[in-house]
Every structure is written in C-alpha cells, then in structure tokens.
C-alpha cells in the first residue's frame, strides 16, 4: 500500500534537480541545493525515485517487487529502444482469442501473477482504481455462465417480440432492434446448445477467469481497467496460457446487479472485462492479420 510521503535522503541527494523537473505534480523543489518534498499529497507515481541517479528517493511501503512466482522478475528498468522490438510486436500479434482449452486447471499462483502484472498498467492520475476477481475453478465459471445464460434467455424473449422492439425503439432508441438483427439468432443457438448439449460457447471451455472492475469514482476507470486487461492478455500468452475476452458476460453483469453481487463486485465498482483463461488446446502457426488503416496525418500549425 502506498503511503502519503515521499522521503528524500539529503545525504544521498546530489542536488542534480532531475526529480524536480520530472515530477508531474511539482511536489519536489530544490532547497539549499538539495531536493525536498514540499507538496505532500502528490500522485505517488514514483518517477522521482525512478530517475534519481543517487537512489536518494524512497516511497515507503511501496513494494518494489511484484512478487511473481511463475517467472523470474527482472528488476532493471528497460531503457527506451533497448528492448527486443520484433519480439514484442510478434507477442502482440500472436496473442489470439482462445476458444479451445484443455481441461487442465490454471494454477492459482499463475492467476495471481497475472493480476499483479495487470497492475503495471498506467492509470488516470495514478489512481489504480481497479480490482480483480479470480475464478480459478471451472465449476464456478459455469455458475457465472448460468447467470449470463439467464440474462440472455430473458433478453431473447423480449427481443423476439416485434411489439416490444417497436416500443423500445420509440422510447429508448434502437438498441434492442440492433441486438435482434445482429445477435438474437446466434445467442438463441448458443443457449440451445448450453441447455440441451452442455456446450459452452460463452467461455469456450476455459477453466478460469479474471474479472476486471474499476472504482466508479476513479478518474478514468474504464481506461485503467482495459489497460490492465491488455497487460493480462499479453502476459497470459507469454506464460503459455490462452485467453479470451467475454463481452457477453460483461454486458449481462452490467445489467444485472444480482450477478455483480454474486461475483463480489460492490455497487461502487463497474465491471469492465471478463477474461476467460486456460491451457490452450490449439496451436496457431500464423500471425493475426488486421485491416490496413490509414492514419489521418495532420499539420494544423501549417494550416493543413
């Protein structure tokens, strides 16, 4: 847990002033040739400690190690341009949504590691207002799955009725009509397979899940949670795990407070992602393709 104070060791400080220049909160000033923490209540982002060549800055209570157990932690910061770019891009392109898993469970320690890795993401005003719920056991995913199925059964019943779709369109826009046109048929089929054949087209047979929530009073809870989520997806791939975001479950949980309650998500938090995880049962030999984008390159200063 972060404490509220940054401590600067005057004996070690050489007065170079790098920390004063880098601090986003202007919380550090040079006093008599030494850095001093003059405005408590800063973001506690730790940039001052990271840039100090004399290692004079301490943020008490902040753990330096994540405490990962499924891999060795490297504690040296990687300087810009000093990492393996091609490897990184290949990792990003090789992460695919996994829709076929082995029955093998994911060790709880690996899931806890993924959460810790998630927290290395940036967050608005360093609020770190995310929270994570781990479901390490397949049976518990099925409990969540049954609640999600219940939500879509009700939604499909409503969406199947043209009068309800028309009334909804008149009062609150065409989202029900949109759902009917785009998802109704495939959801009906998936529900039938779930009910009659025990086929899991929601979590695709994943054996574990991480739910990522954000505190509603954080400055950018959605962005924070989704950035942490992307870290988890990439790290999962690096750890030999498959993952898949389950937007259908997020949508259902957002609309059903009882589901959030069952998943221990308090009303003060919103759910942003459900990440299905497991040991992949498929091998991908080729990278992901993406549509070519043409960025809009602007030069407003030159009138273009």
> What is the binding site for ligand FMN (CB under 6 A)?
96-97, 99, 244-248, 288
CB of 290: closest distance to ligand FMN in angstroms?
A: 8
Residue 136 vs 280, nearer CB to ligand FMN = 280
> H or E segment at 138?
helix 138-159
Distance CA 81, CA 83 (A): 6
Residue 250 CB contacts under 8 Å (≥ 6 apart), including other chains: 271, 272, 273, 274
* DSSP 8-state class, residue 126: G
CB of 80: closest distance to ligand FMN in angstroms?
A: 27
The radius of gyration of the chain's CA atoms, rounded to the nearest angstrom, is 24
Nearest-CB residue for ligand FMN: 247
CB of 251: closest distance to ligand FMN in angstroms?
A: 8
CB of 176: closest distance to ligand FMN in angstroms?
A: 19
C-beta neighbour count of 162 within 10 angstroms = 10
Residue 132 vs 248, nearer CB to ligand FMN = 248
Q: What are phi and psi of 252, to 5 degrees?
A: -65, -40
CB of 99: closest distance to ligand FMN in angstroms?
A: 6
DSSP 50-71: HH-TT--EE-TT--SS---SSS
- SS3 of 97, please? strand
Residue 33 vs 247, nearer CB to ligand FMN = 247
**Pair type for strands 208-215 and 130-135:** antiparallel
CB of 196: closest distance to ligand FMN in angstroms?
A: 20
Residue 13 vs 149, nearer CB to ligand FMN = 149
DSSP 159-184: HT-HHHHHHHHHHH-SHHHHHIIIII
C-beta neighbour count of 301 within 10 angstroms = 6
Residue 99 vs 169, nearer CB to ligand FMN = 99
Residue 12 vs 96, nearer CB to ligand FMN = 96
- SS3 of 48, please? helix
CB of 144: closest distance to ligand FMN in angstroms?
A: 13
Residue 97 vs 268, nearer CB to ligand FMN = 97
């Amino acid at each position: 847990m972060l404490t509220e104070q940054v401590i600067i060791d005057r004996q070690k400080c050489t007065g170079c002033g790098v920390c004063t220049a880098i601090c986003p909160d202007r919380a550090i000033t040079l006093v008599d040739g030494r850095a001093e923490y003059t405005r408590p209540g800063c973001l506690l982002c730790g940039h001052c400690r990271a840039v100090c060549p004399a290692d004079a800055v301490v943020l008490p209570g902040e753990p330096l190690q994540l405490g990962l157990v499924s891999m060795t932690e490297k504690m040296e910061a990687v300087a810009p341009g000093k990492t393996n770019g091609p490897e990184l891009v290949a990792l990003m392109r090789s992460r695919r949504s996994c829709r076929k898993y082995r029955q093998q469970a994911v060790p709880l320690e690996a899931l806890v590691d993924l959460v810790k890795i998630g927290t290395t993401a940036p967050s608005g005003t360093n609020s770190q207002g995310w929270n994570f719920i781990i479901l390490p056991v397949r049976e518990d995913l099925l409990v969540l799955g049954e609640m999600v199925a219940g939500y879509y059964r009700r939604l499909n019943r409503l969406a199947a009725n043209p009068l309800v779709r028309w009334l909804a369109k008149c009062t609150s826009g065409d989202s029900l009509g949109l759902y009917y046109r785009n998802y109704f048929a495939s959801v009906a089929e998936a529900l039938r397979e779930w009910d009659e054949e025990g086929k899991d087209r929601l979590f695709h047979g994943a054996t574990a899940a991480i739910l990522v929530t954000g505190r509603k009073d954080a400055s950018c809870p959605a962005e924070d949670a989704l950035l942490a989520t992307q870290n988890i997806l990439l790290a999962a791939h690096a750890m030999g795990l498959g993952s898949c975001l389950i937007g259908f479950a997020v949508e259902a949980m957002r609309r059903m407070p009882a589901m959030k309650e069952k998943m221990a998500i308090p009303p003060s938090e919103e759910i942003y992602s459900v990440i299905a995880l497991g040991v992949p049962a498929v091998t991908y030999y080729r990278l992901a393709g993406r549509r070519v984008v043409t960025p809009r390159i602007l030069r407003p200063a030159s009138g273009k």
